[in-house]
Structure 1
Amino acid sequence: MAIDTVSIEAEKPKLTFWQIWNMSFGFLGIQFGFALQNANVSRIFETLGAEKDELPILWLAAPVTGLLVQPIVGYYSDRTWHSKWGRRRPFFGIGAILAAIALCMMPNSPVLWVAAGTLWLMDGSINVSMEPFRAYVGDMLPVSQRTAGFAMQSFFIGVGAVVASMLPYIFTNWFGIANVAEEGAIPESVKWSFYVGAFAFVSAVMWTVFRSKEYPPEDLEKFKMEQRSKGMFDGLKESFIGIFEMPKTMMQLAAVQFFSWFALFAMWIYTTSAVTTNIYGTSDATSDLYNEGADWVGVCFAIYNGVAALVAFSLPLLAKITNRKVTHAIALVCGGIGLLSIQFIQNPGHLIFSMVGVGIAWASILSMPYAMLSNALPANRMGYFMGVFNFFIVIPQIIAAGILGFLLKTFFSNESIFAIMIGGVSMFLAALLSLMVNDKDD
């Protein structure tokens, strides 16, 4: 396996800046979907009547669909080849179309259970598009360009999330679209944000589909025989036993990912509730003050993603001075400080400083683990193992969904700010574990 990987790598030419740009551009659209989800779904749930301790369970759709979809899509994208559309690009396009439909449906949900069901469709579709993008970098770039390739993805993730997170604020303050609706109804500013997000998602992904190419399998006839020899059951079985086949580096990175994504999930679920309650002093989802606070959370999410976009290209430079695991640990410490600082803030404007720390961590989470991982994997199973690796993004989210509501209700009087603080501590644990990773390029 290692010999095959080396021979394949030797044949990969270096790509130009614009070729890497085109192959990564689809992430701009994908992040429109994720950013709108992260900044607004709790707001939609609370508007439709959800209680604070119910939010994690309602969010369970996001990690569970990732757990089911990502490894299976990775497995089958490894075994797909079309002479015109390639290996990964069919999944990019199909996922984008389905995600756009779900994005248009979400803000029109009439009741809570419809919104919860739509989240399952939306997150599953986004994952169909997103998962092969990680393997695409490993497919197309030689080892020497992979850190730059993942940094380019982080850049587009940051840019897409900045714009998408600010859309409700922009529609309200720049275009005068209503930011408050009657009880049980979603404001028009949120609806238009999701419509724009659906258009951006499809447009950006299709740019990558039509403006980039893929290398065919090294032995096309052998590849076709392997395709015919595998059925659906084999794919499902292999996808879920991959956790027992992980290389050592992947196992170490899995622990880092666990605590990183536990922290992020706590932040995405509870920031709106924590900010509106602790800083704006209201939990009434129909009030002007609540919706003003919810819009400001969107701006804060835009800020941390903007910081991530700016920081993304400096991470490879810091990694050259130190190494990748130290770079990742430093970034995660910044994120932990950012989350913990929210507890002490009373002025909404000061949240910007907290978001700078979160943004530094986010830039690294989106690139450094994948850069370290891609060098430890066999080239012909890149998509498969990238899918398995995402278990350690979704498993901590499932655990967070299962315990955060209980912890807040039982020990913290349902005060959302304590979920954010738990997330900060989790970031520090991830930083410590990062220093223990055996990175092959150290």
Structure 2
Amino acid sequence: MRYFLFAILLAGVVSCKQRAVDYQLVLHNPVLYSKVTGQLTDVITYDIFTPPVASRIYAYSHLAAYEAMVHGDSSYTSLKGQLKGFDYVLPPDSGKIVDYPYAALMAFMEVGRTLTFSKDQTDKIVDSLKMLATEHGMPADMKKNSEEYGVTVAKAVMAWSKKDNYAQTRSAAKYTVPNDEGKWIPTPPGYFQAVEPQWKTIRTIAMDSSSQFSPPTPCAFGKDSTCAFYKMAKQVQDTGVLLTEEQKAIASFWDCNGFKLNVVGHTMYATKAMTPGGHWMGITGIICDNKKADFEKTVYTYTTVSFAVMDAFIACWDAKYTFNVIRPETVINKYIDANWKPFLQTPPFPEYTSGHSIISTAASTVLEHIYGAQTPFRDSTERPWGFPDRNFQTPRQAADEAGISRFYGGIHYRPSILVARDQGEKVGNYIFSKLAMRKEQLASK
């Protein structure tokens, strides 16, 4: 009888240990963090946030996850004092046991839920995480403490986010399209108003200002066939007329048009897609998985990449609305060929510099700092939109392809892509060198 009772007791102990292992295996799995990031991307896509606004959602959501995570891993350090005006996030009370990866997931989704519209969708994501914790044996007090701590961190990040001038840009005066020849004007088929003309006033993450990495003055507008600007536009037209199937595939794969207006005869309908930032969030998850990064390093990687993307958008939008360069479609239709159409739909904002090129290069620069230049991966992010995977030997190769895709698509002049690539490299290098997020970085400063 005594042995029987001991066996029952032993079985209970083993069962408790197994349940503890279960919740750790599930909730500490970095693939889960990537999955939840992908679910937030789905919400951002559904809510049709513009690319710059989407980058803001990613940056603050990942910051919250990072700050929740740092108190559970001594190899990382808080960003207090490194981000302008960001207050220190206090650790949980000493008497409370917290599962930090779970708290990070809660913090991430609390910010994501706050900054997006579709609360029913974000609530489902949060509920599914809570269910995982319960079903896989997380102790009730730990679960409660972790959820409360995640929300506490999220509130601190949200308080900081409210000081970035975003609310003021929502009520800013309506943008007036310049009348000067050679300046940007709305393009077909929707002739939409300019997107986020005040984005350069958003507080940057790490850059000193939106103009810190300003590009050189673009080529002067000209409509004579002998001038450089005309030749630049003619190059776009000639390339568009003779696109190869591979060039079309590249342009389509990287389109990332969040709201595309399709015209079929007399019918118009819109389709949605993830933003360029969302595409690079997907790539980040793929690379983290390939490199077998643990939960903490995965959160750190996402956070750093999202910072680079957000600052790159701010730098890009500073240039766009400083120079107001006219789009190729407008120039070609007015001065070269009235019937020409770009392969991709022209987005509603000025041309110079290329957003895809700068944010892709910024993201790839950070990824190569963390994992090395020789980081091959298979990009499967566009499967939901029916595009086949593409293989890349390095993140930079993917970034360069993303940039040139806009030239193939007929929506950017080639020099704008090259200049933006230089901008993006500077932004990525600056983010990585300025922010000491790992203890060894802090020690070297």
TM-score bin (small chain): 0.3 to 0.5
Question: Based on CA coordinates, which of the two structures has the bigger radius of gyration?
Answer: 2
Question: Which structure: greater helix fraction?
Answer: 1
TM-score of the two chains, using structure 2 as the length reference: 0.33
After TM superposition, the score normalised by the length of structure 1 is: 0.33
* Structure of greater relative contact order (alpha carbons < 8 Å, 6+ residues apart): 1
